[in-house]
Structure 1
Amino acid sequence: MARPGLERPRTRAPDSQERWGIVVDQRGHDQVVESHLTIWLGPATAQYPQMHGGSIACTLRAAADWVHGYEGGLAVAEAVDAGTFDAGAGRLQLLAALSAAETIEAAARGA
């Protein structure tokens, strides 16, 4: 079952095996980031945004000892927090970095 806000188009291949298509996430930026942090990063590292005043950058920094591969997301989050990087562009890059890190970590554990 898909999570609320996600659409998963399904098609049938000629061999009648079910195939999954593109996932389109209809949730807002903050909900997607919160999902990455609370469903993936938090359980993997025991670090959650509420433990760090809601700061994504602080959460990622604290989690760095456990999960590697999202350094790009950490750099973007810190630059946005410091006001040295455009928040709009930073939001997109942060999502990309978190998605890539989660995918890399899942592949490394054989998921």
Structure 2
Amino acid sequence: MPVLRQLTACSAPATQVVEGRSREKGRALQYRVEVCVRHRWLAQHWPGRCTKREPGGRCGTMADHRAYLQVVQSHVDTWILPLTAQDLHDDNVAAALRAAHQWMEDAYGSPATARGDLWYAVAAALGHAAWLAEALAAGLTAREEGERQVLAALSAAELIAGTACGR
């Protein structure tokens, strides 16, 4: 089942589609990203076949069919690492997300001293994703359900971060 992501807060219709496929026999669909003319630069981050289409869908919509760690790595590569300088090491999702959350909290403070409401919201969403990843690592939730919850929290954080960046 694909993970649905929203890379932008843009409500314009998508005019360009990028489809990434596996290199294995059968070339299974890995992801599908749809962007508008203004956000076509985002398509450069996603290797694959790029096609133009009649306006339709919503800009920034992504269906990600990859495995859990690949999707987490994608979040790290596309927005967490550039924003917080935190990377994924040894597939330790919980540690990477906790470090990214801590960086955001240090940068944007507590709710009482928040210097940017949207950036504080990104920090809160990353904190929630980190907490879920820690619960998953501790075995407090079933693997598949826990992974789904982590990816949903990361998707929410990604949309808020995109909004804060003006995408």
What TM-score range do you get, normalising by the shorter chain? Answer: 0.7 to 0.9
| Deviation per residue, 1:19-62 (Å, 9 max, x gap) | 23563322222211110112211111111112xx3311101111
Q: Please report how far the alpha carbon of residue 107 of structure 1 lies from its aligned counterpart in structure 2 after TM superposition.
A: 0.5
Which structure's residues are more often strand, by fraction? 2
Choose between structure 1 and 2 for higher RCO, CA contacts under 8 A separated by at least 6 residues.
Answer: 2
Is 1:90 the counterpart of 2:127? The answer is no
Q: TM-score, normalised by structure 1?
A: 0.79
Is 1:61 the counterpart of 2:61? The answer is no
Is 1:70 the counterpart of 2:126? The answer is yes
Q: Please report how far the alpha carbon of residue 7 of structure 1 lies from its aligned counterpart in structure 2 after TM superposition.
A: 2.8
What is the letter of the counterpart of residue 2 of structure 1?
V
Percentage of matched positions with identical amino acids = 35
**Residues in 2 aligned to 1:26 and 1:47: alpha-carbon distance in whole angstroms:** 24
Q: 8 Å contact 1:6–1:25 — kept in the other structure?
A: yes
Is 1:25 the counterpart of 2:41? The answer is no
Matched with 2:37 is none
**Residues in 2 aligned to 1:31 and 1:58: alpha-carbon distance in whole angstroms:** 16
Out of 18, 24, 45, the position equivalent to 1:2 is: 18
Deviates more, 1:27-36 or 1:95-104: 27-36
Cα 1:110/1:8, change in 2 over 3 Å: closer
Alignment length (residue pairs): 104
Q: TM-score, normalised by structure 2?
A: 0.55
Q: Please report how far the alpha carbon of residue 71 of structure 1 lies from its aligned counterpart in structure 2 after TM superposition.
A: 1.9
Q: Give structure 1 stretches of 5+ with no counterpart.
A: 13-17
Q: 8 Å contact 2:69–2:91 — kept in the other structure?
A: no
Q: 8 Å contact 1:47–1:59 — kept in the other structure?
A: yes
Out of 76, 80, 105, the position equivalent to 1:41 is: 80
**Residues in 2 aligned to 1:8 and 1:108: alpha-carbon distance in whole angstroms:** 20
Indicate the RMSD between aligned Cα atoms, in angstroms: 2.2
Q: 8 Å contact 1:8–1:20 — kept in the other structure?
A: no
**Residues in 2 aligned to 1:87 and 1:20: alpha-carbon distance in whole angstroms:** 32
